[in-house]
C-alpha cells in the first residue's frame, strides 16, 4: 500500500470499470461518500461515455489518484452555473491522511485557474466529516451556509 507510487491524473475512458469499483468501495466504507447516481446501476460502457463527455468540456473534470494500478481516490467538478463548479472528492480510507485530498484539490484549483471558464468552486460537507471541513478551510474555502447536517462552502479562484 504505502510502497506503491501514487499518481494523480485526469480520468480517461479506460478508467470506467475501475472507477465504478472504487465508487462501490467508497460507498461501503464511508458514511461521508455520496453520489448523484446509483453506483450499482452503472456499467463500464456508460461510465466510459460519461468520462469522455466530461473530458470534452472545459467546465467539468474527473481526476483520479492511482497507487500502482489501483484507483484509490477520485475528484470531480461538475458545472452547476456558467462559472461555478461543484467539487466532490473521496479517497479510500487506507490512503487518507497522506495529503492526497490536498493535492487533488490543489490540482483542480490549478485546472480552473489555467484551463477552465469556471472561477468558483462550491461544495457540501457533512458536519460529521470534520477532517474534510478542516481541509477545505485550510485550502481557502469559506462557509456560505449550513443546516443541521451539512455545511455549504465556496472558493473564488483567481485566473492564471
Task: Confirm whether 95 is domain-assigned.
Answer: yes
CATH of the domain at 112: 3.40.630.30
pLDDT of residue 35: 61
Q: Please state the domain count of the chain.
A: 1
Contacts of 132 (CB under 8 A, 6+ apart): 32, 89, 101, 125
Q: At what angle do helices 16-29 and 44-55 cross, to 10 degrees?
A: 100
pLDDT of residue 2: 55
Q: Which of 22, 16, 81 has the alpha carbon at shortest distance from 55?
A: 16
Task: Confirm whether 88 is domain-assigned.
Answer: yes
pLDDT in tens, 10-42: 999 999 999 999 988 888 887 666 665 666 778
Task: Confirm whether 141 is domain-assigned.
Answer: yes
Task: Confirm whether 100 is domain-assigned.
Answer: yes
In the chain, pLDDT over 70 holds for what percent of residues?
91
**Domain carrying residue 113:** 6-156
C-alpha cell of residue 47: 461510465
Task: Confirm whether 1 is domain-assigned.
Answer: no
In the chain, pLDDT over 90 holds for what percent of residues?
79
In angstroms, what CA-CA distances link 97 with 50, 59, 63, 101, 131? 30, 29, 18, 8, 9
Amino acid at each position: 500500500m504505502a510502497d506503491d507510487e501514487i499518481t494523480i491524473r485526469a480520468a480517461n475512458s479506460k478508467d470506467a470499470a475501475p472507477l465504478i469499483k472504487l465508487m462501490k468501495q467508497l460507498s461501503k466504507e464511508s458514511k461521508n461518500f455520496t453520489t448523484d447516481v446509483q453506483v450499482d446501476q452503472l456499467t463500464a460502457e456508460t461510465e466510459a461515455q460519461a468520462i469522455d463527455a466530461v473530458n470534452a468540456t472545459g467546465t467539468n473534470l474527473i481526476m483520479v489518484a492511482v497507487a500502482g494500478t489501483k484507483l484509490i481516490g477520485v475528484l470531480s467538478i461538475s458545472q452547476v452555473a456558467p462559472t461555478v463548479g461543484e467539487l466532490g472528492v473521496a479517497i479510500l480510507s487506507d490512503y487518507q491522511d497522506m495529503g492526497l485530498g490536498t493535492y487533488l484539490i490543489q490540482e483542480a484549483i490549478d485546472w480552473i485557474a489555467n484551463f477552465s471558464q469556471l472561477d468558483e468552486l462550491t461544495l457540501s460537507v457533512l458536519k460529521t466529516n470534520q477532517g474534510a471541513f478542516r481541509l477545505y478551510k485550510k485550502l481557502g474555502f469559506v462557509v456560505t451556509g449550513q443546516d443541521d447536517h451539512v455545511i455549504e462552502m465556496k472558493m473564488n479562484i483567481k485566473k492564471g
